[in-house]
């Protein structure tokens, strides 16, 4: 019996835990809006928020990753087809310039995620075009910015993203995010944060979409040195490993109308 | 303590099972593409696919619903703000003309669903703009059209949409849909279909999005009299009751940046 | 074609929102351990914790329910076959005497839940035999008792159990429960609580098991007047309506080895 | 600030994809009831069903696993504390002798799973004490045994257990299992099978319980040479890698009443 060639996966696909012979390609993306405009943010993140995130991943993951950064002002925002083809996991930080991101690039990234590329969306990236496009919902939340202490509690202790993360992870001062968070119910909820003011927030949410994996992590703001926090760096390193393609990255799963070819 | 007025719900909200004093407003939408063009389809569905679906809902639900139909060629596709404001549950059938649906109308419907309006997406509507926008994924599938017998099996016997549905529901001839279906994992999987050729398909999928509920049901094609089938009519009637707003329909859940107002 | 008689549901099964002609049978169960032994608890709950819960349900639901109470010291703990046959929804409060509950009664209740009876498990009931039997996990949690303020946040605003519940629901003093909570990931997470000390807890968890529905709600302790709180009473009333059988209550779904009888 | 020592995980926990320096310990368990009693089964599985499963894992996974077998008639069924302490993943096949499995051993295995050990339950093991204890539900299904062709369809193409598995996986003759399957909704549904007679079955179901992972896979029967099928062997090899502990295996997650120790 012939099977649908489109879906057939050759028997010689390597098994999951064969040590990778090549490092994971990671692209750390940021809008880089605050840094050139605000001296205080620049002091906090002299290499940009993207620079701090990239440094943390290199420190935690060493030779297992090849990390590059990309920012809004680059051509195609640094997210050309070639760049994405070399990316196993993309991390996204945006805040002020969501609307300046080209819809064509958003759709290109979305199709890559559905084809197997991992995506890690950070903090105010909850309202980015790419996250809203993949979730389909408002992706809105409540907030206040009073420098409250945030405690990030692990609710899924067996989850790979929680491995080696302090329980709780203590962030001395942070912007407060509050429920309800306008997202689909996560496929796996890993972290819930509690704030000194009493708010709670689902701060670590996993989604499976197409062949890809998406992780949203809320801690991280331009006003606080969150991306220098060793516990946060550990979460992001774990998330990169978790979000890495489980199968070969490639084009989106299927065409619109794929006949069954017996 | 003041609470966030935006989210506060008055204590006098009626409890769930208070019998409705007004019928549910149901809008049955169809692109109405095949019917005027193909005599055979017109013989099968003299009042259009939308007419057959509406008749089934009126027959099953009687005075509990007020059913109207709307089609693509109407101004705003018959889905004006006023029309949607009077709609508790919208059913959607489309196939050939997905791309002709105005993006502004799609976004209007999407925001209504997130605000609490129920949505029931039928058959080839899997590839409609509104379903893809709400799911965020490819929403693709595999198919062949050989008139196979479809058996719709209930996998969630306690689910309200399965109530009174034959197990299995037998559809003597149907287009075959096959996995993988490019959707997020359903919040509740109610039906799985098996086809004479051996394919399987998740034919009844529930999603919660924002304040709204979405149900996808795959049986139903212009080439077969599926919407005259009493078992299919029962599923659609159950689905309308299930998808009805659990809370007051209204504007989408939140604004983009809602401050927490203590 | 004959279908499996065991699963066939007659077409005349009433549709979901037909107003019930008979009230829901609710049994409010409690171990009644603290009340006779501790004067302070008796002052707080002169009719017992079960009496306070029953009063709240009668107040909120009026003629839509017929509420009885049952306690550990009754024969068969007040949960005979006859009593359960007349019960649509059972609420469970226990703390000190979990081990004194007869395993035969636990199994009887478990099979009723799988057959369609609703179950609402309260507070320290997280460690009851019946909840652990239905969840299969440790059902453990972390705790301290310092009278912290608890804020119960709605994370699923469209959920029927959240209807009319203040956002947040404020409980001025409560025992603190903390994650990780050793339960399966809820099928729907409705509430998350935050405590003054910074802990968070998944305080409102929905599960579908067999034909039945299970809701766990954590607020409520013998040391605090939580069951007199109007917001808590509203949650419990909503939960009774949500947990009510979606189909006829009956014996568990299937036999161990049910042949497919075509 | 001190954190709850019980939950604190040292920062030096190895990251996920560090190649293991030691092979995974796999115990393949079978009741070994049919083999000594039925010559035909013995011809089909000269080393027992457990022997065939173990051979497949060794062939697929080589030095990455250290596979041992254990059967019912051994002391403690070959599942002593020492044996389980050396087991990262346990596979379970049973059919006729479920009731002969010692409840103490069942509870020991259950606690190991909640503590992080992977469990793979096969075919008629759906009705084993260990699977029912972990699921909490009836775990029943419908069946007939007419040697139908089974097509195992991948519904989660990005899932590690589906990697390298033919789509569909064709099993020429098999016992037919049918829905409804009395289990909690899977955390991830990987495979759905369709049978020549038209039945469907959720044949590959993933669950997360405590720190452990559970995978149920339905193909496999003493009357058919299913465990010699290369596609089935690939599924089982993938499942062993997926179910392997994500964190150090250890004692169950928590004690019954763990105070929060600030």
User: In angstroms, what is the C-alpha Rg of chain D?
Assistant: 18
How far apart CA C31 and CA C50 sit, in angstroms, is 9
State the chains in contact with D (3 or more Cβ–Cβ pairs under 8 Å): A, B, C
In the predicted structure, residue C56 carries a pLDDT above the cut 70:
yes
Q: Name the pLDDT band for C246 (thresholds 50, 70, 90).
A: confident
| Mutation for D interface: B143, B148, B156, B180, most D CBs within 10 A | B180
C 124-163 residues with CB below 8 A of B? 154, 156-160, 162-163
Rounded CA separation D190/A11 (Å): 18
Q: Which of residues 56-115 of C touch B (CB under 8 A)?
A: 60-61, 64
Q: A8 pLDDT exceeds 90?
A: no
What confidence score (pLDDT) does residue C258 get?
53
Q: Which tokens is D70 given?
A: 């254990």
User: Cα-flanking dihedrals φ and ψ of residue D120, to 5°?
Assistant: -120, 115
Is C156 within 8 Å of A196 when comparing Cβ atoms?
A: no
* Mean of all residue pLDDT scores within chain B: 88
**Residue of D64, D154, D213 lying closest to A17 (CB–CB):** D64
Tell me if C208 and B158 make a contact (CB, 8 A cut-off).
yes
Residue A166 touches chain C, beta carbons under 8 Å: no
Entry pTM: 0.92
CA distance B4 to chain A (A): 9
Which pLDDT band, with edges at 50, 70 and 90, does B75 fall under?
A: very high
Output the pLDDT for position D236: 97
Mean pLDDT, residues C35-54 taken together? 97
Q: pLDDT tens across D166-185, in order?
A: 999 999 999 999 999 999 99
Calculate the CA C125 to chain-centre distance. Answer: 9
Contact predicate D125/D194, CB 8 Å: no
Helix/strand/coil (H, E, C) string of A102-150? CHHHHHHHHHHHHCCCEEEEEHHHHHCHHHHHHHCCCCCEEEEEEEEEE
Taking only residues 190 to 249 of chain A, the set having a beta carbon closer than 8 angstroms to any beta carbon of chain D reads 208, 210-213, 230, 234, 237-238, 241-242, 244, 246-247
Q: What confidence score (pLDDT) does residue C261 get? A: 45
Q: Would the pLDDT of C75 be above 80?
A: yes
**Two structure tokens written together for A189:** 């909820």
Rounded to a whole number of angstroms, the distance from the CA of A173 to the nearest CA of chain D is 14
What is the structure's pLDDT at B259? 54
What does the alpha-carbon distance between residue B223 and residue B34 come to, in Å, rounded to a whole number?
A: 10
The predicted structure's pLDDT at residue D22 = 80
Asked if residue D261 has pLDDT above 50, the reply is: no
Q: Which of A5-14, B153-162, C8-17, D222-231 has the lowest mean pLDDT?
A: A5-14
C165 in contact with B, Cβ within 8 Å:
yes
Q: What is the pLDDT of residues A109-129, one digit of tens each?
A: 999 999 999 999 999 999 999
pLDDT per residue over A62-91, tens digit each?
A: 999 999 999 999 999 999 999 999 999 999
Cβ neighbours of residue A241 under 8 Å, at least 6 residues apart? A24, A61, A64, A160, D15, D16, D17
Alpha-carbon distance B193 to B199, whole Å? 8
Probe site for chain B from A130, A137, A141 (most B CB atoms < 10 A): A137
CB within 8 Å of chain B, chain C residues 15-34: 15-17, 19-20
CB contact under 8 A, A189 and C192: no
pLDDT of amino acid B22: 80
User: Tens digits of per-residue pLDDT, C125-165?
Assistant: 999 999 999 999 999 999 999 999 999 999 999 999 999 89
CA angle C23, C29, C34 (to 5 degrees): 145
Q: Supply B172's token pair.
A: 């003597």
The verdict on a CB contact (< 8 Å) between A258 and B134 is no
What 3-state DSSP class applies to B50? helix
HEC profile of A25-84: EEEEEECCCHHHHCHHHHHHCCCHHHHHHHHHHHHHHHHHEEEEEEECCCHHHHCCHHHH
| B187/C234 Cβ within 8 A | no
Sign of the C-alpha dihedral computed for residues B117, B122, B126 and B127 taken in this order: negative
SS3 (DSSP) at C206: strand
Contact D200 B156 (CB under 8 A): no
With beta carbons under 8 A apart, name residues in chain D contacting B151: 198-200
Q: Who wins on pLDDT, B253 or D85?
A: D85
**Residue C212 is nearest to which of B11, B13, B158, comparing CB atoms?**
B158
Contacts of D192 in chain B (CB under 8 A): 179, 192, 200, 202
Which H or E run contains C190? strand C188-195
Residue B30 scores a pLDDT above 70: yes
Nearest to B198 among D180, D196, D202 (CB): D196
pLDDT digits (tens, 9 = 90+) for D55-94: 999 999 999 999 999 999 999 999 999 999 999 999 999 9
Contacts D164 to A, Cβ<8 Å: 9-13, 15
Give the residue carrying structure tokens 């003597």.
B172
The whole-number pLDDT of residue A246 equals 75
Q: Which residue has the tokens 């009876």?
A: C117
């Amino acid at each position: 019996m012939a099977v649908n060639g489109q879906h057939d996966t050759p028997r010689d696909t390597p098994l999951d835990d064969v040590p990778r012979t090549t490092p994971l390609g990671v692209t750390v993306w940021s809008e880089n809006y605050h840094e050139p405009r605000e001296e205080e943010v620049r002091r906090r993140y002299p290499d940009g928020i993207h620079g701090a995130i990239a440094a943390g991943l290199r420190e935690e993951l060493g030779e297992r990753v090849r990390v590059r950064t990309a920012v809004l002002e680059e051509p195609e925002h640094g997210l050309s087809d070639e760049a994405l083809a070399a990316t196993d996991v993309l991390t996204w930080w945006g805040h002020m310039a969501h609307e300046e991101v080209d819809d064509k690039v958003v759709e290109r990234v979305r199709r890559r995620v559905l084809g197997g590329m991992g995506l890690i969306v950070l903090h105010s990236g909850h309202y980015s075009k790419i996250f809203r496009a993949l979730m389909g919902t408002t992706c809105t939340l409540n907030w206040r910015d009073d420098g409250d202490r945030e405690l990030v509690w692990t609710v899924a202790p067996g989850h790979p993203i929680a491995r080696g993360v302090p329980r709780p992870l203590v962030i001395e001062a942070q912007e407060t995010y509050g429920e309800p968070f306008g997202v689909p119910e996560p496929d796996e909820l890993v972290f819930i944060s509690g704030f000194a003011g009493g708010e709670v927030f689902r701060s670590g949410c996993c989604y499976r979409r197409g062949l890809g994996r998406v992780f949203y992590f809320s801690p991280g703001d331009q006003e606080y040195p969150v991306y220098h926090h060793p516990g946060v760096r550990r979460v992001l390193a774990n998330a990169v490993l978790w979000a890495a393609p489980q199968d070969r990255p490639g084009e989106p799963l299927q065409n619109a109308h794929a006949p069954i070819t017996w």
